[in-house]
Amino acid sequence: MLTLKQLADKIGAEYIGSDICLQGAAFNSQLVEKGMLFAAIVAERDGHQYINDAIKNGASAVLVSVRQKINVPQILVADTRKALGALAKVWREQFSIPVIAITGSCGKTTTKDILGSMLSQKALTVVTEGNYNNDLGVPLMLFKIRPETKYAVIEVGTNSPGEIEYLAKIVQPTHALITNVSAQHLEGLKNIEGVLDEKAQLFKVLLAQGVAIVNMDDGRVLEKSRSYDCQKQYYSMSNMEANVQFIEQKDLGEDMTQITFQSDHKRYQFETSLFGYHNIQNILAATTCAFALNISQEEIQRGLDHVEITKGRFEKSHLSEKVVLVNDSYNASVSSVQAAIKTLNAFEGKRVFVMSNMGELGEHEKYYHGELGQWIAQSNIDQTYLYGDRKLLQETISVCEKCAVYCEDKASIAEDISKGLDLSEPTIILVKGSRANQMEDVVNALMNRFHR
């Protein structure tokens, strides 16, 4: 592997000090481990102020834009943020392993978790941790690749034009998956066509031998994929022309579901504890990619058995034997809200929906909050509690006033739900929201009330 000085030379940076072997990178001084490169990023805070802390925590070198009086090697560049990406690109080029890049408006993190678990059953796999999917997080994940690594699953996010193209050129994926495209990050991407053009950069960077994993159920993604000359593997919940098709699902009881897929006229059955229609879609996407990488049915099943879903993404727990609590508070994109309502509609029992306003919709925010009212009014949800931006949510309530109420605080939501809850009656409580509104507070309050 390249030494740190060799990496610096590759990007034309000045290297000061003795040469070392790189053991990873970090831009948070508190997360530095022995042997790491500390990148002094200038953002809301100037990372140069934390160089001494990073060295105390084990940093063996630093990436800086101002020369430092320190006793560890330093790479001197004009822009540490861009240089971190450039170094990661050179680092990734050392490895001829399958690198799978995943993006999408909804489901990309869960799909990443599922696929990462599947591949990990076969060999050592690097998988994006937490929300490290931007221009700082992606390089850190690439630096985790080592000679013994056999696969890497890298999540790629965006909220403004050009981000995915930039990250894709760093990641250099051999396989790319776009879960879907919908109204998300419209403040920066303007409209759904802007979202599509941005996400599609992941397919665009694939070489002719690269593989695009294409969702046939998303017409925009399907049509866009035809513009690129890479190989393609298609999946679908309904189209039997797909390489991998969903056939059926069966409730096995005890929070387990059996799902059947078909590929090359052969049927495959898997069991999962993951909950919700959209998670079947996520499993289908991950399985299609796994099949393209020659992962066996047994390894896929073991991956499903051991998958750990990122906190706040359709986490299922029980307040009683009959009452299900779903924590889906991590985000609230338009498509993920629709998926949540679809899951509620499929439940046989009482349905309670807790929802905050949706974010990053730009000039379309009033329209989509009015649409939210329509979705709720047309559903079979029994009770809806709304919290957050009252002006926006008034657009929702004006459409579904009889089945939704606005609440000033989250504590009152948990209290009201608790008062009307019959623990012996089949009930689902689904809490949905964007990170800004911290709707996990409602989940925690309910858990505390019934699991003291």
Spatial distance between the Cα atoms of 154 and 148, rounded to a whole number of angstroms: 17
| Angle between helix 365-377 and helix 334-346 axes, rounded to 10 deg | 10
Pair 439, 356: CB distance under 8 Å: yes
Distance (Å, whole) CA 82 – CA 76: 12
Contact 387, 439 (CB under 8 A): yes
Tens digit of pLDDT at every position of the chain (452 positions):
899 999 999 999 999 999 999 999 999 999 999 999 999 999 889 999 999 999 999 999 999 999 999 999 999 999 999 999 999 999 999 999 999 999 998 889 999 999 999 999 999 999 999 889 999 999 999 999 999 999 999 999 877 788 999 999 999 999 999 999 875 545 545 577 777 888 899 999 998 899 999 999 999 999 999 999 999 999 999 999 999 999 999 989 888 999 999 999 999 999 999 988 889 999 999 999 999 999 999 999 999 999 988 788 888 889 999 999 999 988 788 888 988 998 899 898 999 999 999 877 877 888 889 889 999 999 999 999 999 989 889 888 888 877 789 999 999 999 999 998 999 999 999 999 877 889 999 999 999 988 65
Alpha-carbon distance of 77 to 2, in angstroms, equals 19
Q: Which of 432, 433, 421, 441 is nearest to 323 (CA)?
A: 421
CA distance 185 to 362: 8
Does pTM top 0.85 for this prediction? yes
Q: Please choose, from the candidates 259, 217, 262, 325, the residue with its C-alpha nearest in 3D space to the C-alpha of residue 114.
A: 259
CB 410, CB 441: distance < 8 Å: yes
Q: Hey, what domains does the chain have and what are their CATH numbers? A: 4-79 (3.40.1390.10), 95-306 (3.40.1190.10), 315-450 (3.90.190.20)
pLDDT at 338: 87
- Token pair, residue 227, equals 């513009």
Asked if residue 232 lies in contact with residue 225, where contact means CB atoms within 8 angstroms, the answer is yes
User: What's the per-residue H, E or C state across 320-341?
Assistant: CCCEEEEEECCCCCHHHHHHHH
- pLDDT for the residue 336: 84
- Longest Cα separation, the chain: 71
- Output the pLDDT for position 183: 55
